[in-house]
Amino acid sequence: MKGTKALVTMLERKGVDTLFGYPGGSVIPIYDELYDANLRHILVRHEQCAAHMADGYARASGRPGVCLATSGPGATNLVTGVATAFADSVPMLAFTGQVGTGSLGLGAFQEVDAYSVMMPITKHNFRVLDVNRLPHAVSEAWEICQTGRPGPVHIDLPVDQMNSQVDESVLDEEYGIKPLCEDLSGFEEAVQWIRAANRPIILVGGGAVNAYREVMELSELLQAPVDTTLMSMGVVPSTYDLCMGPLGMHGRMSALHAMNEADLIISVGSRFSDRTYSQKSRMRSPDGRVVHIDLDATEFGKHRHPAVNLQCDSAKAVRMLIEALRPSYTPSMDWADRARLFKKHCACDPDFGCTPIVPQKVMHEINRFIGDDTIVTTDVGQNQMWAMHFLDIEKPRRFLSSGTFGTMGYGLPAAIGAKAAKPDMDVMAITGDGGLQMVMQELATSLAEDLPVTVVLLNNGTLGMVRQWQKLFWNERYSATTLRCDPDFVKLAESFGAKGIRVERPGEIADALKEARDCGRTCIVDITVDPDEHVLPMIPADPKEDIVMGRCGFRI
């Protein structure tokens, strides 16, 4: 069989059902093979969004997302989406076409060294120079992208190899993956530290998404508060009485105070990133210690506390801790009650009825509207932080956002990818007018592929987060943050065949959300919000800077 048939056959054997892509010269042979395949191909309007859709598909389903682009500009257009997935440890296969092997390095039409371009933003990289190595590359890439710390794997496909004949026997060969590296040598010491702690706290990151049952059980056993991050929303239910909410620059004061007063952190799949764990939002106990659980040993040692590091799958390590502690552990109810007090005093009521509408009110109405099985995606900027701060997310894989890379334009295509993975679930994309205009052409994709999503647009006519910093720290010198000549987003939606609803008063939000969900197609709910409303509290990394509280009335 030809290389193209071998590729499609291998993907089908791996259980791939959906492929996001955009055709071009060097991948025409692959697209010809897809014509008769049992794979659903979703035609995007820009290759970056193919990667974002594959990302959203993977985060929503837990299975690798797959994207495909042609050589040269098609491959380079994938880069931002692949880098986004790499930064947030999302399993993905990214295929790129390539010029024929005889033309490599000669400056052929649409040639770029995609192998080298993708090297720093992928977990592994293949270039298929012998078509009989193609099945091996696909099998190995499939295992690598989801084994250990997940991440994207890139496969570069020279067109002459894809048109060549494959020895069919190689499709049936088994390709093993080396077992995960584990180091549990500090386990007994970790158990001793937890027993000795008076004020333990659990910090969960994106690496805990498959350990949500174990994390809840450990928290209940220890009566330990749980701080979340942008990547771990829903790992513990937001309404759980010991869930303190997100920690970090725009996190909740309950999470901050619980962390400040803790004397032991049990970190499960968290990177201790600069936006989460800073001089202000850190454990202050002089005797503070960390039990750090992570598959990736390179994440150890970033917090500067004495630590026991357990390199292991999160669910396995937490289960081992539970079994070791359960027989004789006595929790501190005083600490648990104090944590609940933090949460009670941080129970902000964002039901503001003012006009112009403030985004907190929008989040209040979304909270009342969405169910446990609604998937929410966000863009990047103020909309992302308001969603993280105020939304109640009750299950894992229900809140998808670009964290580490902070990619504007992520929200809409990720929502389309999530809808492709979970067609029976409602999917909502929360975005701003800046981010939406980077990817608004994908409205056509959602309509053409019958993947309806609700787009909640917080329209403030500005690049809100940058403008907020200019307001607070740059003497209100608003350089290049006003979005002049924004389109009429209602008419824009209608021009694609979608629905558009304009909201200008607080009392209109609830009805607009219901109308959008019930209309049966993609809908933009264009909500005019106050451009001067800031995401607060704002917790600076610099310990000398004061916390900017704003409307937050947290007091203990």
Alpha carbon distances (Å) from 344 to 255, 363, 365, 473: 12, 19, 20, 31
pTM for the complete prediction? 0.96
Question: In 3D, which of 114, 20, 41 has the Cα closest to residue 73?
Answer: 114
Summarised one tens digit per residue, pLDDT across range 132-141 is 999 999 999 9
Task: Tell me the C-alpha distance between 463 and 481, whole Å.
Answer: 5
Could you give the CA distance from residue 281 to residue 543 in angstroms, rounded to a whole number?
9
pLDDT per residue over 307-344, tens digit each?
A: 999 999 999 999 999 999 999 999 999 999 999 999 99
Q: Which residues pair with 310 in a beta bridge?
A: 293
Homologous superfamily (CATH) of 359-528 is Thiamin diphosphate (ThDP)-binding fold, Pyr/PP domains (3.40.50.970)
Helix (H, G, I), strand (E, B) or coil at 23: coil
Question: Are 3-172 and 359-528 in the same CATH fold?
Answer: yes
Is 142 strand, coil or helix? helix
What is 3-172's CATH superfamily?
Thiamin diphosphate (ThDP)-binding fold, Pyr/PP domains (3.40.50.970)
pLDDT score, position 324: 98
Q: DSSP readout, 42-68? A: EE-SSHHHHHHHHHHHHHHHSS-EEEE
Q: 326 is written with which tokens? A: 């359960």
Q: How far is CA 198 from CA 192, 202, 226, 284, 336, in A?
A: 12, 13, 15, 14, 10
Per-residue model confidence (pLDDT) at position 477? 97
Q: How confident is the model at residue 553 (pLDDT cuts 50, 70, 90)?
A: low
- The CATH number of the structural domain formed by 187-345 is 3.40.50.1220
Contacts for 325 with CB less than 8 Å, ≥ 6 apart = 191, 194, 195, 221, 222
Q: What is the DSSP string of 68-103?
A: EE-STHHHHHHHHHHHHHHHTT--EEEEEEE--GGG
164 touches 230 (CB < 8 A):
no
Write out pLDDT tens, residues 360-405.
999 999 999 998 889 999 999 999 999 999 999 999 999 999 999 9
Comparing 103-117, 222-236, 277-291, 442-456, the range with the smallest average pLDDT is 277-291
Torsion of CA 166, 169, 171, 174, to 10 degrees: -140
The C-alpha atoms of residue 292 and residue 289 are separated, in whole angstroms, by: 10
Domain chopping of the chain, boundaries: 3-172, 187-345, 359-528
pLDDT in tens, 354-370: 899 999 999 999 999 99
- Which DSSP state fits 174? -
pLDDT digits (tens, 9 = 90+) for 471-506: 998 999 999 999 999 999 999 999 999 999 999 999
Per the CB < 8 A criterion, the answer to whether 44 and 442 are in contact is: yes
For the segment 233-237, the average pLDDT, to the nearest whole number, is 98
